[in-house]
Every structure is written in C-alpha cells, then in structure tokens.
Structure 1
Amino acid sequence: MVQYTTTRLDASFAALSDATRRGVLEQLGRSDASITDLADKFHMTLTGMKKHIGVLEQAGLVTTKKLGRVRTCKLGPRQLAEETAWIEAYRQLWASRFDKLDEVVEELKQKKMADGPKNRK
C-alpha cells in the first residue's frame, strides 16, 4: 500500500469534514472571493469565516493575499492527489470484499435451487 503523510491527510480530512469549508472550496472553485464576501454568502461573522479560512490555509487548500484592507482567497496549489489515492485504496478494498460477498450469495442461491423444494412438516 502507498505510504501517506499522516499529518497531511489529517489536516486535509479535518478541513474537509466541515460543510462550510467544503462550500467555501466549491465557491472558490468558481472564482476568487474576499473573506467578507464569503462570510456574507455563508451568513457568518467575519471572525467565524476567518477561522474556517485558516483551517483551509493550514491544509494547503486555500491561499490568501491581502491588498489594502481586503484579504482575497483562492484555491491553493494542492490537488488532493494523496487523499484521492488513500480513498481509492479503500474503495478497491471494499469493492473486492463486496465482490466476494456477491460470489457467496450466488453460490448459496445456486445450491438452494439445486436442492429443490424440501418438504416441511
């Protein structure tokens, strides 16, 4: 199995665990936005949004740039390749297990059909 940087995965999944932060990433995927605009869009205080942006920034998912009094956010350089690989490894593991379960169920069905109806008293 591929070796992963635990700290990086923890930071990414922690950042992605919050619906607001996922929404911010979705919004920034459309266009850059100021923290004020994001706070308004998500009906939050400026302080609350700054905290969310800080978590995303620490995970490398968002970068900010301050021009004057406006701090603009945009998607960071990370493309979540490591996180995708981690998820894919577990997806394949579970797919394999479900395939084996399907085989067992099919074998049981075939056996039941071969045995035919049994008389019950």
Structure 2
Amino acid sequence: MTEFEEVPEFSNDLKKLYRKHKSIYSDLQTFEKALVVKLPGYLPGTKHISNLGKNIEIPIYKVTHFRCASLKGKGVRSGIRIIYTYIQNKQKIVLIEIYHKNKQENHNRDRIIKYCENQS
C-alpha cells in the first residue's frame, strides 16, 4: 500500500491555503486517491521537474491540474500547484510543496534540494 508523507513546510503551506480555500483538505484527499490509482504513471497535468542538479536522483513532479471545489467554475485550472516525489522502492509519496500560482511564481528549488539532500 502506498504511504503518504508531508514535509513540515507542506503542512504550513496547506494551512495558509485553507484560509482562502476551505475545501483544500478534502480536495487533497481526492488528489491522493487519484494519484494512487495512476501509480507508477502520472495524472494528467503532471510534469517532471528537471535542472535541480546532478546530485538529485529522486524524481520530483509538479502537478498543475489540481481541482479545488472552493474555486467554482475553474475545474482543474484552479492555479494550485503541488510538488511531490514518488519513492517507488518504498511505495511512498512525499508531498513537498503546495502553493497558488498567483502568490508564488514557481516552485521553491531550495526546499526541494534541501529535502533531497536529507534523503541521501
């Protein structure tokens, strides 16, 4: 069975998003269920993040199609982004970052690199 884990910064990001988007926790649960069904493949709107450095061996993914019920009429174009990694040999998905693209232009490279270095 696939296990989910959140880095502490992810939990803080989620709390900040909850203030404006009250359905974010249930939306995240729906996302997790859909992700488990698709593994080891990807959900539509998922991109592999490259150019993190030669030391990063864990595959990191960015989800750009995240459905948020609080944003009526937007569907998967909610603007919410999720950064995660899938560690296949441990059957574990680690949620690294969640943000809205209006508040943050791109993913936090430093956070991703810090996480990957801690895994080594």
Scaled by the length of structure 1, what TM-score is found? Answer: 0.26
The structure whose Rg is larger is: 1
Question: Comparing both structures, which one devotes a greater share of its residues to helix?
Answer: 1
Greater RCO, CA 8 A, separation 6+: 2
Question: Comparing both structures, which one devotes a greater share of its residues to strand?
Answer: 2
